[in-house]
Amino acid sequence: MAYANNTIDELLNLMDLESLEVNLFRGESRDIGTPRVFGGQVLAQSVIAASRTVDEGSIHSLHAYFLRAGDATSPIVYDVDRNRDGRSFKARRVVAIQHGRPIFTMAASFQLQQQGLDHQFEMPTVPLPEDLPSEHNISEERLSRIPQLLRRWFNRTGPFDFRPVSPVDIFDPQPQPPFANVWFRLCAKIDVPDGMHRALMAYASDFHLVGTATLPHGISFIQDNVMMASLDHAMWFHRPAHVDDWLLYSCDSPSSSGGRGLARGSIYDREGRLVASVAQEGMIRVGDRPPGKDTQ
């Protein structure tokens, strides 16, 4: 896929899967400068693939595993298994395949809209996004120290605007408690159905999350001797929300051990409604990178 002038269009094009056969879809990949296909892309495309097989209802939960590093130069085939179609809930299983091998699996559940009990944790008290600097405002000198393809996601051409409450210096990280709050939204309004907003929220949820597990250790993903990769990803959608409005991603990491770090996130809209919850475990290794090997 050629790069678009507008990365929001580019992102929406990635979500426009090609239908190959019943329950079988193909999506393009995008190289954003990471060593492998960005996990959020595969996650979001899997949500779209599963949604294409559901006539009624919205995705309310997903549980996924990243099995192999994806090839950003090749498309991905998504094979959807319609596990169950009940009166209120529908279950789907998605396998993402590249070069004849599964690179990702996801189980997802969809639910028809229903009424029920309603409560939630309160949103943390943090500064408003308008009072915070954007990650897009990184200086040209610092931008030049980031790999070229990855730079597009730190400058004004990136589709999402991220505004950390307590920014971390990725070039000189210092140990700090494993808590982070980040406001985010798409940089422009989009006219898409609720299901697309949920898919794009899943895409964005792979940013900033597992990095919370590195905060107590004063390390950064930009360092040559740090290897990080998502191992799994779980997400629960509680209430409808739009990713082109400000959302607060409140993250914490209760534990790191055994070369893995666990992180949790709560996503709130600007009115303080808890719209989604996320959990992810990632591989985190500090040391020399083995040449030419899959780090997972």
* Catalytic, out of 41, 45, 61, 206: 206
In 3D space, the residue among 244, 245, 257, 247 whose CA is nearest the CA of residue 278 turns out to be 247
3-state DSSP helix/strand/coil % of the chain, to nearest 5: 20, 35, 45
SS3 label, residue 195: helix
Place of tokens 């590195």: 214
* Catalytic, out of 230, 250, 253, 277: 230
SS3 label, residue 14: helix
In 3D space, the residue among 23, 27, 20, 18 whose CA is nearest the CA of residue 54 turns out to be 23
DSSP structural state of residue 156: T
| Catalytic residue list contains 206 | yes
| Catalytic residue list contains 253 | no
In 3D space, the residue among 178, 256, 167, 163 whose CA is nearest the CA of residue 212 turns out to be 178
Cβ atoms of 265 and 248 closer than 8 Å:
no
Active-site residues, by number, are 206, 230, 280
